A and B are shown apart, each in its own frame.
Chain A
Amino acid sequence: EPEVTQTPSHQVTQMGQEVILRCVPISNHLYFYWYRQILGQKVEFLVSFYNNEISEKSEIFDDQFSVERPDGSNFTLKIRSTKLEDSAMYFCASSLDSRTGELFFGEGSRLTVL
């Protein structure tokens, strides 16, 4: 069964460092998303991406964040200068059709900022 894969599963970084989280969405999907879950809190929407551009982003997704689809398979989330409060589980998701919202999620990348 096709699945969304994410790497790394866990990354520890120092505050102020740049981090890139990688995702390989399901191959025929067209819509890509990043969500995050701070420990003990709700899963929060960060950004959606379609046709090589951001279609929607939340207030959390400020100038420190960027997304990219550098080739036909990867979808990355970059945090330019990490802060302690960026520590969270980051989930990538993809869907074939945004209207039905059947998002398929990866297992997540845990980011710990020290």
Chain B
Amino acid sequence: GEDVEQSLFLSVREGDSSVINCTYTDSSSTYLYWYKQEPGAGLQLLTYIFSNMDMKQDQRLTVLLNKKDKHLSLRIADTQTGDSAIYFCAPGSNTGKLIFGQGTTLQVKP
């Protein structure tokens, strides 16, 4: 079945860039999403990229998609302590069904 893999943990210093990587198996995904989950909160949509794009920039966030290698990454520039959270990669089909990775915990040290 479809699968999404992410590294479990990333630690960076405040002000550095963070790069969270994701690989997936379902080549039919039309949109690929990044969600953020803060402690005790729901899943917040951060950004997404359409499958025919290579890159999308949204303020401090840059999404890169390598469709051939089925690799998605999220870069956060100038990482702040408020960015500490769990980040989920979630490829989606046009039915709205999302397949989530296990989440990458981002720890930002002051």
Chain A contacts to B: CB under 8 angstroms: 4, 31, 33, 35, 41-45, 48, 55-56, 91, 93, 95, 98-108
Contacts and interface: CB of A to CB of B under 8 A. Distances in A.
Contacts, number: 65
Contacts of A42: 4, 100-103
B42 A107 contact: yes
A45 B99 contact: yes
B102 A105 contact: no
Contact of B97 (A4, A48, A106, A107): A48
Given A99-B30, A105-B43, A43 B100 contact: yes
Contact of A101 (B40, B96, B102): B96
Interface string B15-44: 000000000000000110101000011111
A12 to B, nearest CB: 18
B95 A41 contact: no
A48 B94 CA distance: 12
Given A31-B96, A48-B96, A95-B96, A102 B45 contact: yes
A35 B97 CA distance: 10
Nearest to B30: A99
Given A48-B97, A99-B94, A100-B31, 4 more contacts: A98-B94, A101-B92, A106-B42, A108-B42
Contacts of B88: 43
